[in-house]
């Protein structure tokens, strides 16, 4: 069992609901600061509020890129990435074009990932596969493309699809990722037991909408 402090530093605390209000966002940020989560994943239009409330803390801002569908153009994703880092993000999570993966357009996906990584200019990059939509073979291919594209993490899910992280997917992704790519488990991380299990299986980052529920103080 990890300490609360150790667990907190693996968590991207997520509030990406399109109808979230400013008061809800401020409460989310205040909680993240209290628990010392690694980052908050929030809509980019809210970054000024986050910079205000997180100033002087050890909580960073994580930008969603291509959310929640993934089928915006690569040029749009590159602009989003550059803009997000210019406005205060320290990390970014990009959703791939899922249809491209399922159609075998691997070169297009790898090129998009490379351009995303280049736009981040050395900052942490995570690429989302949306595993609930994919076959096992597609998941394997997706991890390999993320690895070749040079991102830091491959991630399971946005939380907006039909499912989230599963033990089977984390095992598969960790195996394919090897030593050069980290794995982020996201979607359905609703208990301390699940969080610990995902980390035990080899994930090094967790995405959760209510991570405070994983802790007892």
Distance CA 92, CA 68 (A): 14
Respond yes or no on whether the N-terminal peptide bond of residue 68 is cis (omega within 30° of 0): yes
Kindly give the pairing relationship between strand 153-155 and strand 124-128: parallel
**Active-site residue among 93, 126, 147, 169?**
93
Residue found by looking up tokens 């994943």 in the block: 41
- Asked about 155 being catalytic, the answer comes back as yes
Torsion, Cα 46 48 54 56, to 10 degrees, reads: 160
In three-state secondary structure terms, 172 is helix
| CA neighbor of 206 nearest in space, from 2, 1, 29, 9 | 9
**Active-site residue among 38, 139, 147, 184?**
184
- Asked about 139 being catalytic, the answer comes back as no
Other residues' Cβ atoms within 10 Å of the Cβ of residue 129: 26
- Asked about 184 being catalytic, the answer comes back as yes
**Active-site residue among 12, 77, 155, 169?**
155
| CA neighbor of 28 nearest in space, from 211, 206, 164, 157 | 211
Query: Would you say 29 and 40 are in contact if contact means Cβ atoms under 8 Å apart?
Result: yes
Torsion, Cα 38 150 118 105, to 10 degrees, reads: -120
Residue positions annotated with a catalytic role:
93, 155, 184
């Amino acid at each position: 069992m990890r300490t609360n402090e150790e667990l907190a530093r693996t968590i991207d605390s997520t509030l990406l609901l399109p109808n979230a209000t400013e008061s809800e966002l401020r409460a989310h940020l205040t909680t993240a600061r209290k628990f010392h989560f690694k980052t908050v994943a929030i809509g980019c239009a809210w970054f000024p509020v986050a910079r205000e409330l997180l100033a002087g803390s050890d909580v960073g801002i994580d930008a969603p890129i291509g959310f929640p569908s993934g089928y915006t153009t690569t040029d749009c994703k590159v602009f989003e990435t550059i803009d997000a880092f210019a406005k205060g993000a320290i990390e970014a999570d990009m959703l791939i074009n899922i249809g491209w993966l399922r159609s075998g357009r691997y070169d297009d996906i790898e090129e998009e990932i490379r351009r995303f990584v280049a736009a981040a200019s050395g900052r942490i990059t995570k690429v989302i596969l949306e595993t609930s939509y994919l076959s096992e073979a597609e998941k394997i291919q997706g991890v390999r493309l993320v690895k070749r594209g040079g991102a830091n993490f491959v991630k399971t899910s946005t939380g907006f699809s039909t499912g989230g992280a599963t033990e089977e997917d984390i095992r598969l992704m960790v195996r394919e990722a090897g030593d050069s790519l980290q794995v982020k488990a996201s979607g359905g991380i609703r208990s301390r037991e699940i969080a610990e299990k995902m980390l035990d299986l080899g994930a090094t980052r967790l995405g959760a909408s209510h991570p405070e529920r994983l802790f007892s103080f």
